């Protein structure tokens, strides 16, 4: 496969269908082609401080062709790209249980906010007070007149009106310029979503102002976003661990061979920490505190010294009802998280058991790719490696993978047409 690199001054234009795992790593004005093979479809424009060096490693499948172009041609290309970026406001949305991300065509992921809406309720009427980050700060801390709601549960819409309000807000936020133009929007949905749940998502997006709404299965989006060569005739396993669900899928030739969605994810881990503290320490903590414990010292394996790091936690003492502070160790969090971690491992084992043998052999070669925020739980990759005996890697930018993959599907709709559903 060839990559044409058209270079002029500080503008590099990649006009390519690449076969490299990560497209490029851009740091300090230097482009490094990553070495592993995978198909990535790209057509991006990068602005870099000159000088620019381009390397690739021996043994790469990547063949580099450098072409110099004339100054005004380069300017034309930049001009054209920015112009199309201006008018083409089609979007890809990862409507997640915990976070919603919006990818705008030609611009990448430009919004990432918690999926939370806060309402002011007065005389039976509701008025939106805050959406996203600001609304999340209110969760668990609202007076009677304010309601903070998470409209998504387990990957699908639990509260239709609130979800629509949230999508509208995010679309308005990224789509300021051309209010006359209705965008086409692709949204990812969990593989396990029912036809009714899919229709609800599509309807919400259309009501929020889209002219056309396409759906793509979350595992396909996750694998594209992680840079896996899903269109090749080889088996690829992706495990997307989100807030509400874990999706395990085996993909080949651009489609799903096997997928399973289990309703275990980051939320279930938070609940496990809450119930552990209630049982073991008579301490009642809220969801936000449990999430902070998980992201700070959470781990999927017992620490080697049997205790690990620790942190102070505040909550309400269940015995006498007063606020109290207590210490929690990593070992205790590992114990609390044992069950959800085991459920995730079991979902992966089940997928491996039913994968056709040739594809299973590919997975032995290539390993398993983890995406989603849950993939960031410390040592989860090691726990999975121990149980499955397979190499396990965590995708770069794992929280953004699904949004980036949905965005790539939007950019390369022709090639990935079969994966996008506009009708159901």
Ligand X SMILES: Nc1ncnc2c1ncn2[C@@H]1O[C@H](COP(=O)(O)OP(=O)(O)OP(=O)(O)O)[C@@H](O)[C@H]1O
Q: Which residues bind ligand X (CB under 6 A)?
A: 96-99, 155, 242-245, 265-267, 291, 294-295, 298, 372-374, 376-377, 399
Residue 35 interacting entry, from ligand X, Mg ion, none, C-beta within 5 to 8 Å by type: none
Q: Is 298 a binder of Mg ion (CB under 5 A)?
A: no
Binding piece for Mg ion, criterion CB under 5 A, among 143-151, 200-208, 263-271, 394-402: 394-402
The distance of closest approach from Cβ of residue 96 to Mg ion in the complex, given in angstroms and rounded to an integer, is: 4
- CB nearer to ligand X: pick between 99 and 355: 99
Binding piece for Mg ion, criterion CB under 5 A, among 36-44, 46-54, 92-100, 362-370: 92-100
- CB nearer to Mg ion: pick between 242 and 340: 242
The distance of closest approach from Cβ of residue 261 to Mg ion in the complex, given in angstroms and rounded to an integer, is: 11
The distance of closest approach from Cβ of residue 392 to Mg ion in the complex, given in angstroms and rounded to an integer, is: 19
The distance of closest approach from Cβ of residue 94 to Mg ion in the complex, given in angstroms and rounded to an integer, is: 6
Q: Where does residue 254 fall: left (phi above 0), alpha (psi -120 to 50 degrees), or beta otherwise?
A: left
Q: Is 96 a binder of Mg ion (CB under 5 A)?
A: yes
Residue 106 interacting entry, from ligand X, Mg ion, none, C-beta within 5 to 8 Å by type: none
Using CB under 5 A as the criterion, what x/- string covers residues 223-262 for binding Mg ion? Answer: -------------------x--------------------
- CB nearer to ligand X: pick between 234 and 330: 330
Residue 362 interacting entry, from ligand X, Mg ion, none, C-beta within 5 to 8 Å by type: none
- CB nearer to ligand X: pick between 229 and 265: 265
- CB nearer to Mg ion: pick between 219 and 242: 242
Binding site for Mg ion (CB under 5 A): 96, 242, 402
């Amino acid at each position: 496969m060839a990559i044409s690199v058209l270079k002029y001054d500080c503008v590099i234009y990649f006009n390519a269908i690449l076969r490299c795992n990560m497209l490029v790593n851009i740091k300090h004005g230097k482009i490094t082609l990553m070495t592993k093979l995978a198909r990535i479809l790209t057509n991006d424009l990068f602005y870099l401080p000159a000088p620019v060096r381009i390397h690739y490693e021996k043994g790469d499948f990547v063949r580099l062709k450098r072409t110099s172009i004339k100054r005004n041609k380069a300017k034309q290309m930049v001009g054209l790209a920015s112009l199309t970026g201006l008018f083409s406001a089609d979007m890809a949305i990862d409507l997640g249980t915990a976070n919603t991300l919006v990818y705008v065509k030609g611009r990448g992921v430009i919004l990432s906010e918690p999926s939370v809406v806060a309402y002011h309720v007065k005389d039976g009427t509701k008025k939106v007070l805050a959406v996203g980050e600001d609304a999340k700060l209110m969760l668990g801390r609202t007076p009677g007149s304010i309601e903070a709601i998470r409209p998504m549960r387990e990957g699908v819409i639990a509260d239709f009106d609130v979800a629509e309000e949230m999508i509208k807000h995010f679309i308005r936020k990224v789509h300021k310029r051309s209010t006359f133009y209705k965008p086409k929007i692709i949204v990812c949905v969990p593989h396990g979503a029912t036809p009714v749940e899919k229709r609800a998502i599509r309807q919400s997006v259309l009501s929020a102002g889209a002219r056309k709404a396409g759906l793509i299965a979350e595992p396909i989006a996750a694998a594209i976003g992680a840079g896996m060569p899903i269109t090749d005739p080889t088996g690829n396993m992706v495990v997307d661990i989100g807030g509400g669900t874990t999706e395990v899928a085996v993909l080949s030739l651009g489609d799903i061979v096997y997928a399973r969605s289990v309703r275990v994810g980051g939320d279930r881990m938070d609940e496990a920490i809450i119930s552990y503290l209630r049982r073991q320490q008579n301490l009642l903590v809220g969801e936000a505190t449990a999430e902070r414990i998980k992201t700070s010292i959470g781990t999927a394996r017992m620490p080697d010294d049997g205790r690990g790091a620790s942190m102070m936690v505040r909550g309400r003492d269940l015995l006498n009802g007063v606020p109290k502070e207590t210490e929690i160790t990593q070992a205790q969090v590992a114990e609390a998280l044992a069950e959800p971690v085991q459920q995730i491992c079991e979902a992966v084992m089940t997928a491996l058991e039913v994968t056709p043998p040739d594809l299973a052999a590919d997975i032995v070669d290539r390993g398993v790719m983890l995406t989603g925020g849950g993939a960031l739980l410390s040592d989860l990759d090691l726990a999975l490696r121990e149980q499955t005996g397979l190499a396990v890697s965590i995708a770069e930018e794992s929280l953004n993978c699904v949004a980036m993959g949905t965005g790539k599907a939007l950019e390369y709709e022709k090639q990935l047409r079969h994966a996008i559903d506009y009708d159901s």
